[in-house]
Amino acid sequence: MKPFTAIKMSLIGVLALFAFSVLPWEPAVAMGNPIAVTVDGQTVALDQPAIMSQGRVMVPLRGIFERLGAQVNYDAAQRSITASRGTTLISLLMNSNQAQVNGVSRTMDSPPIMIGSRVLVPLRFVSEALGADVQWQAYNNTVNILSQTGGVDLPYAPVPVQQQQPYQQPYQSNAPFQLNLTGPPAASALPQLFDVTGTTQPNATVRISVISDMPRHGFLGMSSPTSVDVLNTTTQADINGNYTFHVNTNNLASGAHLIVTLSASNTSGGSSNELRTEYSRQ
C-alpha cells in the first residue's frame, strides 16, 4: 500500500471515529433490534424511529404524546415545545436541558433535538410529567407507557363508561342486626294469654323460647326446680320488621316465673343479639 493511501485511509478512520464520538445521538439498537414503544399495551408506529441520546430514549414529539391524550405544539420561530394534558403544562426549548412543568423549573438529562424535520423529546421525562408510568424492558428494547397512572385529569373520557344498574336483590350481610322488644315491659305480671311484640330487620326469621321455673316435689317431699317449655317457635317479621308471638300460659300456676328469650336471623346468615326478658304469671 502506498504511504499516501495509508495516510488517507487513517485520516478517514480518525474523522469517522471523531464524528461518532461527538454525534449527540445514535440509533437505539441493542442486539440488532430497534426500540419499540407501546402505550397501554398497543405498539405505536413512529415515522421517525426512537433513538438513544445521552442514555435517554428520544421519540418524535407528536407520535407518542398525542396517544397519551396530550396536546402538543412546536413553535419553530421560538424553537419552543409545549405539551399539555389535563391540568399539566410542559414547556421545553430545543437543545436546552431546562424545562418548565406548571411553571416549576426542572432539569432534564437529555435536551430536545431535531432529526431531519422531526423534533425528538426525552420520552421518560415528558411521559412522567404528563402523569404516565414508563417501564423499560432492556431484554427486547421496549418502552411500555401506561397512560392512566399518576392521577392526571383527562379533558375527555377515552373509553365511555356504562352506568351500572342498581342491584335488584336485597343487601346481604353477615353482620349482626338490631332486635327490639316493644312489649310487654320486663318484670311484668302477665295474664294467662299475652303477646310478645317487637321490631327487627325486615323479613327476618324470629325465634322465641318461653320457659318457666316450676317447683317439683322430689325425694322425702323436698322441692327442687325444674323447667317447663311453654313455647318454642319461630315467625317471620313483616316488611317493616314487626313481629308478634301469642303466648298461652294456662298450664302454669299463678306466680310462675317466666323467661322469654328472643333471637333473629336472615337468609344471608346475619343474626341479631339474643334478647332475654323475665316475667311472672298473674
Residue-wise pLDDT for 214-253, tens only, equals 654 444 444 445 678 888 888 888 888 899 998 888 878 8
H-helix or E-strand containing 198? strand 193-199
More confident residue, 90 or 153: 90
Structural domain contains residue 15: no
Structural domain contains residue 38: yes
Q: What is the bridge-based pairing of β-strands 26-27 and 71-75?
A: unpaired
Quote the mean pLDDT of the chain. Answer: 76
* 123 and 229 belong to one structural domain: no
Structural domain contains residue 172: no
Structural domain contains residue 203: yes
* 44 and 136 belong to one structural domain: yes
More confident residue, 136 or 211: 211
Q: Which of 11-25, 80-94, 191-205, 232-246 has the lowest mean pLDDT?
A: 11-25
Cα 274 to the chain's mean position, in Å?
Answer: 37
* 200 and 137 belong to one structural domain: no
Q: Diameter of the chain by CA atoms?
A: 142
pLDDT recorded at residue 143: 87
Quick one: cell of 88?
399539566
125 backbone dihedrals φ, ψ, rounded to 5°: -60, -50
Q: Which domain holds residue 273?
A: 180-281
* 120 and 189 belong to one structural domain: no
* 133 and 192 belong to one structural domain: no
* Residue finishing a domain among 94, 128, 146: 146
* 238 and 127 belong to one structural domain: no
* Residue finishing a domain among 146, 170, 192: 146
Most confident of 56-70, 113-127, 202-216, 267-281: 113-127
- The CATH number given to whatever domain includes residue 30 is 3.30.457.10
* 208 and 140 belong to one structural domain: no
Q: Indicate the pLDDT class of residue 39, thresholds 50, 70 and 90.
A: confident
Structural domain contains residue 171: no
CA-to-CA distance for 201 and 176, rounded, in angstroms? 10
- The CATH number given to whatever domain includes residue 213 is 2.60.40.2550
Structural domain contains residue 107: yes
* 247 and 139 belong to one structural domain: no
User: Could you tell me what percent of the chain has a pLDDT over 70?
Assistant: 74
- State the first-to-last Cα distance of the chain, in angstroms, to the nearest integer: 134
What is the 8-class DSSP label of residue 10?
A: H
pLDDT tens for residues 71-115?
999 999 999 999 998 889 999 999 999 999 999 999 988 899 988
pLDDT recorded at residue 225: 54
Cross-strand pairs, 74 = 81
Please state the domain count of the chain: 2
pLDDT recorded at residue 175: 67
pLDDT recorded at residue 65: 84
